Chains A and B, each alone.
Chain A
């Protein structure tokens, strides 16, 4: 038997659109066609013999969805999503611990409710569990009229990361020379990570001069506080191993987990890293810092999880598209940004200090742990005119990890590349960062998916992919 992706790519097939709308512990199941699971079809929390409410409006169908990347120095996927129109205010739903029943959408769904869209086949062909997940979104507003039509204006699932703020003065992993916040003047007590705990404190500096542990300061790792034994001469900074998130993935997870599920592993370097937030900022901005540091980009994947993926064009293709599947042929344009080399930093120094007065104290040699500066990685080039990009700041402790990142960026942006655009039936859900193969007039070429637009405007669910080749 053929797989569902073969079925969905067929020329003459019935496709069923599903939407699971989740608000708290309630999940509504709606569809574009009548659809009932079999008694043998329990999936996750969903029981068997569950009828989907066929109330997705023909006028709406699958909302349009677009997600795309910029250059290697734009480390976030930007996304937009259209509206979902429903033609009834009640739908089959499941509340945790209760039997499925029809419930009122309007009194249940709130702003922020999550929606996962899937495309499948009639139950006679495939189970609901075989349906492909197309994308996830969140409800931004709910509108309607006296015809019982409900329009859900949607936002991307990533929006919550733009609307939510990080903690201020938070320390994750290994950081050098971070400025400390005075918590108690009388006790000369300073905060590192708010409320703690932290892992350890490697050094404390007074205006860049190293203090001695014990006689100069004490540390309470449980509360994340450092107490000095005497008034300092100037700004107090410290080398800290902060909150227990020691890799880029774990730091990103610590920042995003209150708002979104986070993929268990990222393909980013797993060497020791550290990140310091002197001020609160949108979580999305912090993720930008972390992703850029890895030569990666961040996105919320189709299942609604935060994920980092690499800028890399040498991966094995996960799908191949022949010209038979290209609904509108293909086009190509030359990509911008040809870099000659990539300078980079590691072991970031978080405090810029003025030179202290010269003195006999040998500890001055420890002044403000200097950042690691690696030699620029040179691009191979292909004869195209090039520019030198800005210096890449990484948050890795070791140079080796930063070197890997700089090298990868040069591989992507150091030679002239083309962006190919194809439109194909929506039979497999591609992700940004996937490597695909596509048939040109000169044979197959492989490239990195940097843009994905899903539409059903013509009635046929299709996806337009842009691949950096």
Chain B
């Protein structure tokens, strides 16, 4: 099993971006990908395929890619390409295609309206018509890739446009010893209910937050110092991607979260042994 990982400092956030197209009106530019606000979305123009070109200031190593709230269906593809000389250049160092990571079962009823949920099976062969179905597709790369020029192409014949909230290309943070057994996952309900005379519950549905309680019990001295530096930088308000099981599958999907720290704490237990406990709380 791959170790749990953190996607923290994202190289895409300081890169130069260009998209093959942007939805008419210009309300969702490609620079929204660099916004930490999850509700800031880049949306392509009409079509079943589009790409985003990412140019770093200098070549850097990338070990993992992640996509937050991608709207592709299960038949869609994500193609990641990298070059050392130029976008679409001669010196290709990476060209791989992966499926998106989406929930493959229904979360909504189908009785209403004319949207995607209303006319088909949610996420089976239809796109997410909006970002209500939140997801994180995490693609660990087989080997580190050093390149300055990147292109990510989204394709899905089921979609009329492609959209994504965040693209991560970075070197993930992992620790020498993986997190300890006993980690927990829970969803924090936010819906409110009101009971009628007859006992019927009228619910104002609100999305629940995924909360992962984890503990890394065996950090080294160096890792502990790095954690403290990270906590200073991120506090409890700057979002990042955390995955218990990093992988492009259902196990990865259900344990990967765009989140902030809550209650993060480091305890020095013994020589060269520190514990790092926190709750990763999903950010909307």
Which residues of A sit under 8 angstroms from B192, Cβ to Cβ?
A: 458-460
Per-residue B-contact encoding for A111-124, CB less than 8 Å = 1, 0 else: 00000000001111
B55 to chain A, nearest CB (A): 24
Minimum distance in angstroms from A6 CB to a CB of chain B:
8
Say whether B161 contacts A39, CB under 8 Å. yes
User: Would you call B131 and A1 a contact (CB within 8 A)?
Assistant: no
Question: Which residue from B24, B39, B112 sits with its C-beta under 8 Å from A125?
Answer: B112
- Chain A residue numbers with a CB within 8 Å of B27 are 47, 49-51, 92, 99-101
Q: Which B residues touch A100, using CB under 8 A?
A: 25-27
User: Scoring B residues 113 to 144 as 1 if CB is less than 8 Å from chain A, else 0, what string do you get?
Assistant: 11111100000000001111000000000000
Q: Find chain A residues with CB under 8 A from B114 CB.
A: 1, 126-127
Known: A11-B203, A34-B39, A327-B194. A124 touches B26 (CB 8 A): no
Among B25, B161, B205: residue with most chain A CB under 10 A: B25
**B164 on the A face (CB < 8 A):** no
Q: How far is the CA of A6 from the CA of B118 in the complex (A)?
A: 14
Q: With A and B bound together, what is the CA distance between A51 and B191 in angstroms?
A: 23
Question: Among residues 293 to 332 in chain A, which have CB atoms less than 8 Å away from a CB atom of chain B?
Answer: 323-324, 326-329
- For B202, list chain A residues within 8 Å (CB): 11-12, 327, 425, 460
Q: Which of A426-463 contact B (CB under 8 A)?
A: 456, 458-462
Partner of A7, one of B43, B112, B194, B206: B112
Residues of B within 8 A of A389 (CB): none
Give, as a whole number of angstroms, the nearest-CB distance from A88 to chain B: 9
Give the residue name and chain of the A residue nearest to B206 (CB).
A14
Q: Mark A40-61, 1 if CB is under 8 A from B, else 0.
A: 0000000111110110000000
| Distance of A456 Cα from B192 Cα, bound (Å) | 11
- Are the C-beta atoms of A123 and B130 separated by less than 8 Å? yes
Contact of B264 with A by CB under 8 A: no
Instruction: List the A side residues contacting B198 at CB < 8 Å.
Output: 323-324
Asked if A36 lies at the interface with its beta carbon under 8 angstroms from chain B, I say yes
User: Which of A35, A122, A329: most chain B Cβ within 10 A?
Assistant: A122
Q: Does B204 lie at the interface of the complex (its beta carbon under 8 Å from any beta carbon of A)? A: yes
A463 to chain B, nearest CB (A): 13
Do A13 and B25 have beta carbons less than 8 Å apart?
A: no
A15 at interface, CB cutoff 8 A: yes
A285 within 8 A of B: no
Question: Are B194 and A458 in contact, with the CB atoms below 8 A?
Answer: yes
Q: Which residues of A lie under 8 Å from residue B40 when comparing CB positions? A: 51
CB of A333 within 8 A of chain B? no
Q: Assess whether A34 is in contact with B201, with CB atoms less than 8 Å apart.
A: no
Q: How many residues of A contact B (CB 8 A)?
A: 48
- Taking CB atoms, residues of chain A closer than 8 Å to B24 are 39, 47-49
In-complex Cβ contact of A122 among B132, B193, B204 (8 A): B132
Question: Interface 1/0s, chain A 1-42, versus B by CB < 8 A?
Answer: 110101100011111000000000000000001111011000
Complex: A274 Cα to B112 Cα, angstroms:
51
Given contacts A13-B205, A125-B115, contact A101 B26 (CB under 8 A): yes
Interface residues on B, range: 35 or more
Q: Is B15 positioned at the interface, with any CB of A under 8 Å from its CB?
A: no
Q: Chain A residue with minimal CB distance to B284?
A: A34
Cα(A126)–Cα(B130), bound, Å = 12
Whether B194 contacts A460 by the Cβ 8 Å rule is yes
From B26, B113, B200, B284, A121 is in contact (CB under 8 Å) with B113
Closest to A125 in B: B113
Residues of B within 8 A of A122 (CB): 115, 117, 130, 132
Q: Determine the residue in chain A with the shortest Cβ distance to B27.
A: A100
Taking the closest CB of chain B, its distance from the CB of A23, in whole angstroms, is 19
Are A1's CB and B118's CB within 8 A? Answer: yes
Q: Is B28 an interface residue (CB 8 A)?
A: yes
A49 to B38 CA separation, bound complex (whole angstroms): 16
Interface residues of A in 119-151 (CB under 8 A from B): 121-127, 130
Evaluate contact between B41 and A51: CB separation under 8 angstroms.
yes
A51-B205 in contact (CB<8A): no
Answer whether A12 and B205 are a contact pair too, CB < 8 Å, given A92-B27, A122-B130, A329-B197.
yes
Distance between A424 CB and nearest chain B CB, rounded to angstroms: 10
Q: Determine which residue in A12, A124, A327 has the highest number of CB atoms from chain B within 10 A of its CB, and name it.
A: A124
For the complex formed, measure the closest distance between the CB of A412 and the CB atoms of chain B, giving whole angstroms. 31
Interface pair B25/A460, CB less than 8 Å apart: no
Which residues does chain B contribute within 8 Å of A39, judged by CB atoms? 23-24, 46, 160-161
Which chain B residues lie closer than 8 Å to A327 at the CB level? 194, 196-197, 202
A458 vs B196: C-alpha distance when bound (angstroms): 12
Instruction: Establish whether residues A7 and B161, one from each chain, have CB atoms under 8 Å apart when the complex forms.
Output: no
Given contacts A34-B131, A126-B113, contact A54 B39 (CB under 8 A): yes
B196 touches A121 (CB 8 A): no
A460: contacting residue among B38, B112, B130, B204, CB under 8 A? B204
What residues of A have a CB within 8 angstroms of the CB of B112 in the complex?
1-2, 4, 6-7, 121, 125-126
Report the minimal beta-carbon distance from B25 to chain A, rounded to whole angstroms.
4
Q: Which single residue of chain A is at the shortest CB-CB distance from B22?
A: A49
A1, B111: Cβ atoms closer than 8 Å: yes
Asked if B222 is an interface residue, CB under 8 A from chain A, the answer is no
A99→B41 contact, CB < 8 A: no
- CB of B25 within 8 A of CB of A47, answer yes
Compute how far the CA of A124 lies from the CA of B111 in the bound complex, rounded to whole angstroms: 11
Within the complex, the shortest CB–CB distance from A123 to chain B, in Å, comes to: 5
Contact in complex: A35, B203 (CB < 8 Å): no
Query: Using Cβ atoms and an 8 Å threshold, which residues of chain B touch A7?
Result: 112-113
- Highest count of chain B CB atoms <10 Å: which of A39, A48, A50, A53: A39
Determine the chain B residues whose CB is within 8 A of the CB of A124 once the complex forms: 108, 113, 115-118, 129-130, 132
Cβ contact within 8 Å between B23 and A123: no
Contact of A36 among B113, B131, B191, B207 (CB under 8 A): B131
In the assembled complex, how far is the CB of residue B118 from the closest CB belonging to chain A, in whole angstroms?
6
B206: which A residues are within 8 A, CB to CB?
14, 33
From the candidates A49, A53, A323, A456, name the one contacting B25 in the complex (CB within 8 A).
A49
B-side residues, CB < 8 A to A, are 23-28, 38-41, 43, 46, 108, 111-118, 129-132, 160-161, 191-194, 196-198, 200-207, 284
29 A-B residue pairs with Cβ-Cβ distance under 8 Å, sorted by A, are A2-B111, A6-B112, A11-B202, A11-B203, A12-B205, A34-B38, A35-B130, A36-B43, A36-B131, A39-B46, A47-B24, A49-B23, A49-B28, A51-B40, A54-B39, A99-B25, A100-B25, A101-B27, A121-B112, A121-B113, A122-B132, A123-B115, A123-B132, A124-B118, A126-B115, A324-B198, A326-B197, A328-B196, A460-B202
Shortest Cβ-Cβ A-B pairs, 5 listed:
A459-B192, A125-B113, A124-B115, A124-B117, A49-B23
> What 4 new A-B contacts, CB under 8 Å, besides A99-B25, A425-B202, A459-B191?
A34-B284, A36-B41, A51-B39, A125-B113
